[in-house]
Amino acid sequence: MTQIKSRCILITGGASGIGKLLASECLKKKAYKVILWDINEQLLEETKTEFAHKGWDIDTHVVDIASLDDIKAAAALVKERHTTVDILFNNAGIVVGKPFEQHTHRDIQKTIGINVSGVMHTALEFLPDMLDQCDGHIVNLASAAGLISNPNMSVYAASKWAVIGWSDSLRLEMENNDTGVHVTTVMPSYIDTGMFDGVKPPMFTPLLKPQYIVDKIIEAVENNEIILQEPMMVKSVPVLKGILPRRMFDFVAGKMFGVHTSMEQFKGRPSEIAVPDKENLKSKK
């Protein structure tokens, strides 16, 4: 089992939403240090102040996960101050929900940069130290979108398919070499955080409450679970894809369960749809 108590924990995209809730739960479990990375400096400051009022001391760093330079600089600072990160939550992510032909090249670059490259680069910065101490846990927040094709989220789905493939391959490497490092891949459906504002959840797949999925993630980490899929219907996707002909699966997923129309009224957070730069965020403060 992975212990959270007395461990150093880093959470990307930690200033709000799932990342902030993960931080709160880890602090309740007596993590000795929680470090939050986020592109939004104002939200980081607000979260740090809010936690301080509860008696919790956290470290915060303004980091654009799409920037390798930012990742390397912030990682160097973390190592200098705390030696090593014991548990890494790769939580930062964005979604651009619209037909592929309406994407800009910048939409694609930012989505892949944050959702894929940033996840891998961040893990690579801290994995060697985990290997040296023969202990550590990397938690990669992917998505059920990485299991099933869906109109109006092609680039997002592609990014999550990539994360799932990389994350589970990394897990096998860690297990095959008996490294002591655990890898958990999280694949939730739509979560009610504002990131997916306007979505219509498929049949039998309710909009997940943030605290519910955070509790499940913490439980999965503590039990060294390989994969977390929520809700129950998400677990059926690989089975149905394996036994049904493709057109039949498309019919079941699209027509019967409504997956293919779930993003038709998508709004999301305005800042995420615009895919902001760190500089733009600072200028709006």
- The answer as to whether 195 is a domain residue is yes
- The answer as to whether 190 is a domain residue is yes
| Distance separating alpha carbons of residues 5 and 26, to the nearest angstrom | 8
Residues sharing a CB contact under 8 Å with residue 91, sequence separation 6 or more, in sequence order: 11, 12, 13, 14, 18, 19, 22, 141
The amino acid present at 280, given as its one-letter code, is N
**Closest to 185 measured CA to CA, from 153, 230, 121, 155:** 230
Average pLDDT of every residue of the chain: 91
pLDDT, one tens digit per residue, over 90-139 is 999 999 999 999 999 999 999 999 999 999 999 999 999 999 999 999 99
- The answer as to whether 106 is a domain residue is yes
The question of whether 190 is a catalytic residue gets the answer: no
The amino acid present at 240, given as its one-letter code, is L
- The answer as to whether 1 is a domain residue is no
**DSSP 8-state code for residue 278:** H
Model confidence, pTM: 0.90
Region 252-271 average pLDDT: 80
Point out the catalytic residue in the list 32, 156, 190, 212: 156
Domain extent at residue 139: 8-283
- The answer as to whether 71 is a domain residue is yes
| Distance separating alpha carbons of residues 155 and 158, to the nearest angstrom | 5
pLDDT, one tens digit per residue, over 154-209 is 999 999 999 999 999 999 999 999 999 999 999 999 898 878 888 787 877 888 99
257 compared with 29, residue with greater pLDDT: 29
Q: How many domains does the chain have?
A: 1
User: Which CATH number do you get for residue 161?
Assistant: 3.40.50.720
- The answer as to whether 3 is a domain residue is no
| Distance separating alpha carbons of residues 57 and 4, to the nearest angstrom | 16
- The answer as to whether 168 is a domain residue is yes
Question: Measured in whole angstroms, how far is the alpha carbon of residue 134 from the centre of its chain?
Answer: 24
- The answer as to whether 2 is a domain residue is no
| Distance separating alpha carbons of residues 34 and 25, to the nearest angstrom | 10
